[in-house]
Structure 1
Amino acid sequence: FSRRIDRILVAATKADHLHHESHDRLQAIVRRLADRAVARANFTGADVDVVAMAAVRATREGTVRQGRETLPVIIGTPIAGEKINGETFDGKTETAIFPGDLPENIDAVFDVSGADHRQDSADPAIRFVRFRPPKLERTAEGVTLSLPHIRLDRALQFLIGDHLA
């Protein structure tokens, strides 16, 4: 009797730190990063899936008008001590931030010769704010509801769904 790995899930976690409009792009970037490993796994007969997910969704989505432009934002409560544009958060105050856009052309992410490459910069090109998980809600009967997530159900279905049927 030998065990065989028949499914591999490559997960881009913390998808709640991006607006859903960027989730497909995040998945494409992660798939590109894992291309060779995915090809080897497929060669051995394993099914491979790539998913942008969040086991616990700490933010929700909204929009903000700035002039004539409507920007997609994520809304959440930054962990105490987190800083955004010089403002330090107390862990209780909710805020909306524009998380930026991932490029439509994922090749731009991997182009180290491009004008946007900031290897010599003292500031990091990417910075993620850490958010508190949401407060657990209860029904009128006092039943605690589950934590919100993004595609955790899809990940579990892919990995163990047939074992539960």
Structure 2
Amino acid sequence: FLAKLFRGKRVEKILFAATKADHLHHAQHGRLTAIMAALTREARDRARFAGAETEALALASLRATTEDTMTHAGTLLDVVRGTLLDTGKQAAFYPGALPDDPAHILSAAKGGADKWLDEDYQVMRFAPAPLTLRPGDGPPHMRMDRAAQFLIGDKL
């Protein structure tokens, strides 16, 4: 009680979120989370030293895609499907594969590379699906429940 009175309020939890995870197949979400954790490692270490809990998480506040597997040139590809925001047409998109080791991306970025992994990254703009919710249901999302649980679960 006295510590709160004299020190004031302090940040207890910090969530570092990689958003738009619905633009990747779920097989890549662990790698995206690992990249976010590596990107924010120094900030997370400082926050933990100051007494705050931290977590890195891949999430999508409003899921706009579905997942599928397609064959292209004899190879199975994990793709995401959705409605393009600009044209309204259905599209399947192969976002590529994130590296197993986040250092593969981060070392190139720290070195000032213009292109990472010799790739040209572009993001498709997907429109949210029309909502047909039953009373009490929320819109489709990815891991927003885990984010809320981490941030405010102990307060409820």
Same topology, TM > 0.5 = yes
Equivalent residue for 1:134? Answer: 129
Structural mapping, 1:7-156, within 5 Å: 7-80=13-86, 90=87, 92-112=88-108, 119=114, 125-139=120-134, 143=135, 145-156=137-148
Aligned length, in residue pairs? 145
SS in 2 for 1:103: coil
Equivalent residue for 2:151? Answer: 159
TM-score (normalizing by structure 2) = 0.85
Structure 2: runs of 5+ lacking an equivalent:
none
How far apart are the structure 2 equivalents of 1:95 and 1:159? 35
- The offset of 1:144, in angstroms, is 7.7
How far apart are the structure 2 equivalents of 1:43 and 1:145? 39
How far apart are the structure 2 equivalents of 1:132 and 1:61? 15
TM-score (normalizing by structure 1) = 0.81
SS in 1 for 2:154: helix
| Aligned residues with identical type, % of pairs | 40
- The offset of 1:66, in angstroms, is 1.8
Which structure has more helix as a fraction of its residues? 2
Equivalent residue for 1:84? Answer: none
- The offset of 1:131, in angstroms, is 0.8
How far apart are the structure 2 equivalents of 1:37 and 1:95? 38
